[in-house]
Amino acid sequence: MTDQLSRVFQALADPTRRDMVARLAADGDASVGELAAPYDVSVQAVSKHVKVLEEAGLVSRSRDAQRRPVRLEAEVFDLMTKWIERYRQQAEERYRRLDAVLATMDEGDASGDGQRDDAPIDQQGAAS
Amino acid sequence: MNAAATTKHEATIEAVPDLPIIIITREFGASAERVFRAHVDRDLFARWVGPRSIDTTIETWDARTGGSWAYRVGRAEDGLDTSFYGSFHEVRPNERIVQTFTWAGAPDQVMLETMTFEPLEGGRCRIVGRSISESIEVRDQMLASGMDVGVQEGYAQLDELLADGSA
């Protein structure tokens, strides 16, 4: 399961493949030849990139049409984006709890930052 | 793969595709000194690091250069009982914390985390946390799991996608 996700990330680690995915997302299905047009590389090289994206489940190619257009599999892409967004949300939730803690520190600490006599012992010697 | 914040001060995340790095940035309506203190004070830290509904127990806490830390989240009877540990490589007051981070469930993996505290105008501050994993694969596992109970539902979704042949 995680192998699948790793393949997705690895596929997107390459700037050319990222660009291809972005173009498929913006412009819709395209043939390998159309995908290759803007790059200074051979159609064979682009074909290889498409194969990596295909193995990662990011794109598919229809079997019947003669030009076999490459199609973005938005579901897999969305799932990965969702995972990153959930990770971000977890960080945001943690930091909202920190906001609340900071607010209580403000109330009990009108004299200023870190100037309290009961400042944590933990900080002592930290600069050494 | 950047997810832009929906409001001005929400945390933003950046998962650099080519590198095993996750960067999380967040602004606070408090000074760098206060935010730093909430990171190094054992009791303050325990109040925000874990989910509100689940107990966080700090087991080891020595927040200074060369020190170490460990905490446990949840209890066996909650159905969630997991712990994290690491070392404080550098604690530079009000500026920077560099620490290692290991989830006890995967003791062979260690992340290096660097957190910087930048003062902003108006008594605010910004913290930038960079987590470096050993490999992109490990980083991706981190992202996929979120180190959270929600991990199973994520896998279930992916299983469904794989099962119906669309992936």
Instruction: Tell me how many residue pairs between chain A and chain B have CB atoms under 8 A apart.
Output: 165
**Residues in B touching A119 (Cβ below 8 Å):** 37
Residue B162, chain A, CB below 8 Å: the answer is yes
Return the pLDDT at B90: 98
Q: How far is B77 from chain A (nearest CA, A)?
A: 23
**Stretch B131-158: mean pLDDT, rounded?**
63
**Residues in B touching A116 (Cβ below 8 Å):** none
Residue A2, chain B, CB below 8 Å: the answer is yes
pLDDT above 80 for B162: no
Q: How far is A44 from chain B (nearest CA, A)?
A: 23
Return the pLDDT at A118: 46
Return the pLDDT at B138: 80
**Which of residues 15 through 34 in chain A touch B, CB cutoff 8 A?**
15, 18
| Confidence label for B1 from pLDDT (cuts 50, 70 and 90) | very low
CB A46 within 8 A of CB A36: yes
Return the pLDDT at B74: 77
Return the pLDDT at B136: 78
Q: What angle do CA A53, B18, B105 make, to 5 degrees?
A: 95
pTM attached to this predicted model:
0.66
- DSSP state letters, B14-75: EEETTTTEEEEEEEESS-HHHHHHHHH-HHHHHHHSS-TTS-EEEEEE--STT-EEEEEES-
3-state SS, residue A86:
helix
Residue A117, chain B, CB below 8 Å: the answer is no
Q: What is the pLDDT along chain A (128 residues), one digit of tens a residue?
A: 456 667 777 787 777 888 888 888 778 899 998 899 888 888 899 999 999 999 888 899 877 667 789 998 877 777 777 778 888 888 898 999 999 999 998 654 544 444 444 444 444 444 43
Question: Token match 């409001």: residue?
Answer: B7
Residue A111, chain B, CB below 8 Å: the answer is no
Return the pLDDT at B154: 41
Cα–Cα distance measured from residue B119 to residue B103, given in angstroms and rounded to the nearest whole number? 31
Cα–Cα distance measured from residue A117 to residue A46, given in angstroms and rounded to the nearest whole number? 65
| Confidence label for B7 from pLDDT (cuts 50, 70 and 90) | very low
Contact B143 A105 (CB under 8 A): no
**Stretch B89-101: mean pLDDT, rounded?**
98
Nearest CA in chain A to B52: A97
| ipTM, 2 dp | 0.78
Tell me which of B29 and A121 has the higher pLDDT: B29
**Stretch B28-40: mean pLDDT, rounded?**
94
Return the pLDDT at A98: 94
Contact B140 A6 (CB under 8 A): yes
Cα–Cα distance measured from residue B13 to residue B26, given in angstroms and rounded to the nearest whole number? 9
Tell me which of B84 and A119 has the higher pLDDT: B84
